[in-house]
Structures are given as structure tokens and as C-alpha cells.
Amino acid sequence: MTHRDPAFAARGRFWRGNLHTHSTRSDGVLSPEEVCRRYKAEGYDFLALTDHFIGAYGYPIVDTVPMRDKGFTTILGAELHSGAMANGELWHILAVGLPADFAPSNSPWFVPVEGQETAAEIAARAAAAGAFVAIAHPQWSGLTLEDARTITAAHAVEVYNHGCAMGCDRPDGFAIADLLLSEGRKLTLIATDDAHFSEPDHFGGWVMVKAEANEPEALLDALKAGHFYSSQGPELRDVRVEDGKLIVECSAVSSIVALGWGTGAKAIHGHSMTRGEVVLERLNNSPWIRAAVIDAAGKRAWSNPIWVGEHGKNPRLAG
């Protein structure tokens, strides 16, 4: 039986986009117009400008519709803040595809205040309004697994954040994402810039979304359906599980890795590999499998998890 990553079975073509970006409407250093111009000039097909949705900035959902043209589109969004994490700091929730009139939260600044919505509540409200919702930069936030479990409306986890990589060497969200997957959560994985343009935090991580048109509604539908992969450079061309192997077709890479729950992982290595088959015996019967590839320059790309079975107990942990 073949289980193919739905991104490679979906109709359409891949469009390159960044889902996490800031401008002078919050704490970025470039105007919305200049941010959009730069992403278009760098070959991106779409951009979500996600300024911080707090009172000090006027709860911005920036109107980027005028920046769209025949070859470049934008999706309205914001980085939402409400409620406290276990460490006492304010939550960060990425919401892409918000309506322009999304109601403000009670979030005057970057600290929690009494009586405001919880993160779970504002995430659910954003999802109900039509947004693609992601848990932002878990490592940078100091997020615990218990924190992450509360955001039941999330579609995705931000597993690579280029701004956090360059600004504080805390780019990672894979640990949280893999633990949630291992509890049966059907989440996807996004790479983003979180660009502010105050440091080299841009053009370092993106999503490749498979859709029939480079239009906001089509892109949002594809994101919610998991029809995308994430990258720092390498291209994924097919990812599937077949006959006990993970089969990956891609641009030239040096390593192809299969990952599952617990310690389940196996890699193959070579030179200029454009296809690889990874035997899954060491994946511990994981109900989900995801692929990572690494090129000769150390740049990576990541598939979304492929669900090959039902959630159950890891046999290595069985008593």
C-alpha cells in the first residue's frame, strides 16, 4: 500500500511564500510596501504580513491588498497575543487569513493582563474566522508540552523560525511538534522568516504550497489541507511510504532522513542524491512518518507527516 504526502498528489503547482513577517505597523523597520517589494523581488509568490496584534500598535491587520499584482499576492494576518504560558510570558499565535475586521483582544502590550482571553480561546476564534493557525517559535518562547497541548485549534507548529535562528540561536519547534504528533494530533509543520529586517532574519525559511492558483483563498485552503512542504533551499518533488520504505524524490541532497515517534529515525547519505529509499524498520511502527533532506550546504527541507496508521502505544514502551 502506498501512502503519499498529499502535497504531491494535489492538483496545481507549488507557490513559494512566507507566513510570518513584520513591518513598521508593529516592530519591524520597513514599511509594508517595502516588505512586500523585497519579497517579490526575491522571487516569492506570496506573503503574509503578520504584525503584532496588540493595543500599543493599534491591533493592526495590515491592508496589503494594494500590494498584490498579477505575479504576487498577499494574505492578511497577524501575530496574536493573549494569555500567559507556564513561564508567565505572553503567548504568540500566528494567524494567516484573518478578516480585516477581526475583533481586538485585550492585549495592550507584550505582557499578560488579567481578564484577557487565553491563547486557546484567541486561537479558536481566529480559526473560526477562517485563519490558518500555527503555534509560533516554541523554542524561543520557552513553550512546554503542556502549553502546546492547550492550543487545540492549531493547524500547524512553526518548526523553523529564521529570525530566531539568526537573532538568538533558538529556531526550533520540532521537539514540540513531534511530541504532539505522537499523541495523535494531526498537525503540519511550517518554516518561516519572522522577518523584522533589523538583522539578517529574512529569506531563510519558507513554505512551498501546492494550489491551482496563487490567490489567497486557494493558498489558505491548501495550507489547511496540508498541501505544502517547508524549506531553506532544497526542493521536494515526491514523498511517499511504500513497501516498508520512505521514498523521497528531491533536488540534489547529501542526506535523506525518515523520522517517527520516540527514537524512531533512519538516514541515508550520499552525493547529489535526487532519489532515496529509507527502510523503516527502525521507525518503531510509528503511525506517522516525516521526511527531512539536507543538501551539501547544510540547507534543509521538511515534509509534513504522513499518517500510515492509527495512533497507538509505542510498542517499545509496552509493559
159 pLDDT more than 50: yes
Claim to verify: residue 223 and residue 81 sit in the same structural domain: yes
Q: 100 with 240, same domain? A: no
Same domain, 290 and 190: no
Q: What's the DSSP call for residue 172?
A: B
Q: Give CA–CA dist 307/226, Å, rounded.
A: 12
Confidence at residue 80, expressed as pLDDT on a 0 to 100 scale: 98
* pLDDT attached to residue 312: 60
- Partners of 307 in the beta sheet? 288
pLDDT at 317: 44
Please indicate, yes or no, whether residues 170 and 240 belong to a single structural domain of this protein: no
Assess whether 36 and 170 both reside in one domain.
yes
> For position 168, which CATH number holds?
3.20.20.140
253 pLDDT more than 90? yes
> Is residue 8 scored above 90 in pLDDT?
yes
Query: Which residue, of 231, 252, 269, is where some domain finishes?
Result: 231
Q: Looking at residue 319, what is its pLDDT?
A: 35
By C-alpha distance, which of 118, 45, 116, 48 is closest to 79? 48
Is residue 179 located within the same domain as residue 211? yes
Is the same domain home to 193 and 296? no
Whether residue 42 is found in the same domain as residue 147: yes
This prediction's pTM: 0.96
Q: Tell me what pLDDT residue 310 has.
A: 75
> Which residue segment(s) compose the domain that 275 sits in?
236-317
Q: What is the pLDDT of residues 36-65, one digit of tens each?
A: 999 999 999 999 999 999 999 999 999 999
273-311 pLDDT tens trace: 999 999 999 999 999 999 999 999 999 999 999 999 876
User: Residue 67 above 60 pLDDT?
Assistant: yes
64/138 same-domain check: yes
Q: Please check the confidence at residue 240 and state whether its pLDDT lies above 80.
A: yes
Q: Work out how many domains the chain is built from and give that number.
A: 2
Task: Select from 210, 231, 252 the last residue of a domain.
Answer: 231
**Domain end position, chosen among 202, 231, 260:** 231
Give the list of residues 6+ apart from residue 274 with CB closer than 8 angstroms, or none: 249, 250, 251, 252, 253
pLDDT at 40: 98
Stretch (H or E) spanning 30? none
Average pLDDT over the chain reads 96
Same domain, 104 and 207: yes
Rg (CA), the chain: 19
User: Same domain for 88 and 187?
Assistant: yes
CATH number of domain containing 300: 2.60.40
Those residues whose C-beta lies under 8 Å from the C-beta of residue 26, and which sit 6 or more positions away, are: 51, 52, 54, 57, 60, 79
> Residue 175: phi, psi to the nearest 5?
-60, -50
Task: Check whether residue 286 and residue 219 sit in a common domain.
Answer: no
